[in-house]
């Protein structure tokens, strides 16, 4: 329920702006527009807390010491860990974004703006799919090794994926299925979606962390104990 409330928190902040727009859609939103930066910052902060909590869920699965979901007792630590995970995620997406942007600029310079869409359509999707396929294993490598650099060790992460490729693919299938099932939360007065989404995220993290633990075990490497929690 705490996770559901955190999912719902940004919506509560955005309600004044949404209701203002629905009540008087033709009037300027200047009285409530000042709340927009607060809404954005609050939404980002909450997402980082949830992301940091998901790291603790993964830690519990990797160590085998957490049979249930961890308690919500480390909000500051979860925020900082979430910030770290978000930064690493952005860094992992950077090569794909840079390649597509560079090719787009090159095509625009050589062939004109009318063909600027070609790299985005032709090169963008394969790079996005490749990054998405690599991302869970990379983040879990960072978590299991307690080392940011582990996420960028492509050779090592790829070898781990290769050891449990079938299970890794099944984890992706499970993730898609979990997100679809989570939509049924809309049937509970719409707000149920926040609880089901959070539960789906926990289940998906558990699935990928279980696969990561299997990959580490296949390599004959002991799983390190989770790092000491931050404040």
Range in 173-187, 189-203, 210-224 with the lowest mean pLDDT: 210-224
Question: SS in 3 state form for the chain?
Answer: CHHHHHHHHHHHHHHHHHHHHHHCCCCCCHHHHCCHHHHHHHHHHHHHHHHHHHHHHHHHHHHCCCCCCCCCCCHHHHHHHHHHHHHHHHHHHHHHHHHHHHHHHHHHHHHCHHHCHHHHHHCHHHHHHHHHHHHHHHHHHHHHHCCHHHHHCHHHHHHHHHHCHHHHHHHHHHHHHHHHHHHHHHHCCCCHHHHHHHHHHHHHHHHHHHHHHHHHHHCCCCCCCCCCCCC
Report whether pLDDT(231) > 50.
Answer: no
Per-residue pLDDT tens for 123-134? 999 999 999 999
- pTM for this one? 0.82
Per-residue pLDDT tens for 4-36? 888 777 776 666 666 665 555 554 544 555 666
Per-residue pLDDT tens for 145-182? 999 999 999 999 999 999 999 999 999 999 999 999 98
């Amino acid at each position: 329920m705490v996770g559901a409330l955190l999912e719902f928190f940004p919506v509560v902040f955005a309600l004044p702006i949404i209701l203002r727009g629905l009540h008087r859609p033709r009037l300027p939103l200047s009285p409530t527009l000042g709340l927009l930066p607060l809404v954005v910052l609050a939404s980002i902060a909450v997402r980082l807390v949830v992301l940091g909590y998901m790291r603790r869920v993964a830690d519990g699965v990797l160590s085998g010491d957490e049979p249930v979901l961890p308690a919500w007792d480390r909000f500051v630590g979860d925020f900082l860990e979430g910030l770290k995970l978000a930064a690493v995620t952005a860094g992992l997406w950077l090569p794909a974004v840079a390649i597509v942007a560079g090719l787009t600029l090159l095509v625009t310079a050589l062939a004109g703006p009318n063909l600027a869409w070609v790299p985005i359509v032709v090169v963008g999707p394969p790079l996005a799919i490749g990054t998405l396929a690599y991302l869970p294993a990379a983040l879990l490598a960072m978590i299991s090794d307690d080392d940011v650099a582990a996420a960028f060790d492509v050779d090592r992460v790829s070898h781990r994926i290769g050891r449990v490729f079938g299970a890794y693919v099944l984890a992706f299938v499970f993730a898609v299925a979990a997100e679809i099932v989570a939509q049924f939360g809309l049937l509970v007065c719409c707000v149920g979606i926040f609880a089901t989404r959070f539960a789906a995220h926990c289940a998906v993290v558990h699935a990928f962390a279980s696969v990561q633990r299997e990959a580490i075990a296949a390599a004959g490497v002991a799983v390190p104990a989770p790092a000491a929690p931050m404040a």
